[in-house]
Amino acid sequence: MRMVAALSGKGGVGKTTTVANLGVTLSLMGQRVAVVDCNFVNPDLRFHFGVYAFDATLHDVLAGTISLETALIQHPSGVSLLPCLASVPEWPLTRLREGLRDLRADFVLLDTYPGIENGNGELLGMCDEALLVTNADLVTWTDTKRIARQVGLPLRWVINRQKDGSMGGVAPPEAPWAAIPEWPEAERYLLKGTPYALEHPEGAAAQQYARLAGDMVEAAARGEVERSLARFERYTSQGAFSTRLLSILRRFKEERLREKSHRPARV
Ligand SMILES: Nc1ncnc2c1ncn2[C@@H]1O[C@H](COP(=O)(O)OP(=O)(O)OP(=O)(O)O)[C@@H](O)[C@H]1O
Ligand SMILES: [Mg+2]
């Protein structure tokens, strides 16, 4: 399971939009995806999925009054959504990670409040990676770089609302990055409760989300293979495996990696 937080320095750059569109894209690629609202000030992720009423929230799950499985709302795209209340929870957020591990999710995307305050510090402590969402104007970019220095996790940048493929005069980051173009009538999709990439799978934005999702799936599979190879190598160094057996296992793992990154779409 990869737990990934969408972060930003400034507000309104597109974190929630990124979580919704990347979430449905990963799900259409056959990944098991949960999106969790951890914006404890303005929780609005559910609107992107057309969810206007709900029985339970992240807060109930953390308090232990309801199981995670019962609280998750299933969206037709295959994404599971967990809304939250507008207050920093008083229970440890790590309970969420434990519950999600039992559900065997491949990716868990967390939406957050801008900056790394308001509960975000604890939240980052349980994440594997952060998606730094930014726009390409100089002021937002400078603020994003400030956050990047403080996160302490592997980073991937999402340069959102790009106009005409322009980088607005800023140099691309050193970490992996994806650029998402601006699309027309964003408010209409929000009111409709359908992520844009789901409505326009052939569009430029959907293609960029697909590239980003593909990179994330491949990196996750590579990490999994590397971890199990390291385990095998530990055994070999203890004399438990022959070199020949190790090379057979390595080939098997490489094939699995290839399979996983080319898994057919679910729909
Ligand atoms: N690529 C895009 N093209 C067009 N409109 C977009 C794009 N990305 C985001 N928007 C619009 O920009 C606005 C802000 O986006 P969003 O709510 O995702 O930002 P945010 O970073 O989550 O904001 P906050 O910090 O308040 O949580 C929304 O109205 C959204 O529809
Ligand atoms: Mg938001």
**Ion ligand 2, residue ranges at CB < 5 A:** 15-16
- Does residue 15's CB lie within 6 angstroms of at least one atom of ligand 1? yes
Alpha carbons 138 and 7: distance in angstroms, whole number: 18
112 in Cβ contact with 123 (< 8 Å): yes
Element (DSSP H or E) covering residue 234 = helix 204-237
Quote the strand ranges of the chain, DSSP E.
Answer: 2-7, 33-38, 73-74, 80-82, 107-112, 129-134, 155-162, 177-181
Is the C-beta atom of 12 inside 6 A of ligand 1?
yes
What angle do the packed helices 243-261 and 204-237 form, to 10 degrees?
A: 170
What local confidence, expressed as pLDDT, does residue 263 receive? 59
Which of 95, 100, 111 lies closest to 5, judged by CA?
111
Q: What is the pLDDT of residue 265?
A: 47
Per-residue pLDDT at 267: 37
Q: What is the value of pTM for the model shown?
A: 0.88
- Beta bridge pairs of residue 157: 132, 177
204-237 helix and 15-28 helix, angle to the nearest 10 degrees: 70
Q: Residue 266's pLDDT is what?
A: 44
For residue 68, what pLDDT is reported? 95
Amino acid (one-letter) located at 107: F
Q: How far is the CA of 193 from the centre of ligand 2 (A)?
A: 15
> Into which CATH architecture does domain 2-204 fall?
3-Layer(aba) Sandwich (3.40)
| Position in ligand 1 atom list of the atom nearest CA 111 | 22
Separation in Å, CA 236 to CA 233, 239, 242, 245:
5, 5, 7, 9
User: Which of the 8 DSSP states describes residue 176?
Assistant: -
What was the pLDDT predicted at 167? 74
Coil, helix or strand at residue 205: helix
The protein residue whose alpha carbon is closest to atom 29 in ligand 1 is: 187
Pick left, alpha or beta for residue 169 (phi over 0 → left; psi -120 to 50 → alpha; otherwise beta). Answer: left
| Nearest-CA residue for atom 23 of ligand 1 | 12
Residue 246: its pLDDT value, please? 66
What six digits make up the tokens of 173?
A: 């980051």
pLDDT at residue 157, rounded to an integer: 96
Nearest-Å Rg of the Cα atoms of the chain is: 19
CA distance 31 to 25: 9
Spell out the per-residue pLDDT of the chain, length 267, in tens: 999 999 999 999 999 999 999 999 999 999 999 999 999 999 999 999 999 999 999 999 999 999 999 999 999 999 999 999 999 999 999 889 888 888 889 999 999 999 987 668 889 999 999 999 999 998 999 999 999 999 999 999 999 998 876 777 788 888 999 999 999 999 999 999 999 999 999 999 999 999 999 999 999 998 877 777 777 677 666 655 566 666 776 777 777 777 766 655 443
Per-residue confidence (pLDDT) for residue 228, from 0 to 100: 74
The span from the CA of 75 to the CA of 106, in Å, is 16
The residues spanned by each domain of the chain are: 2-204
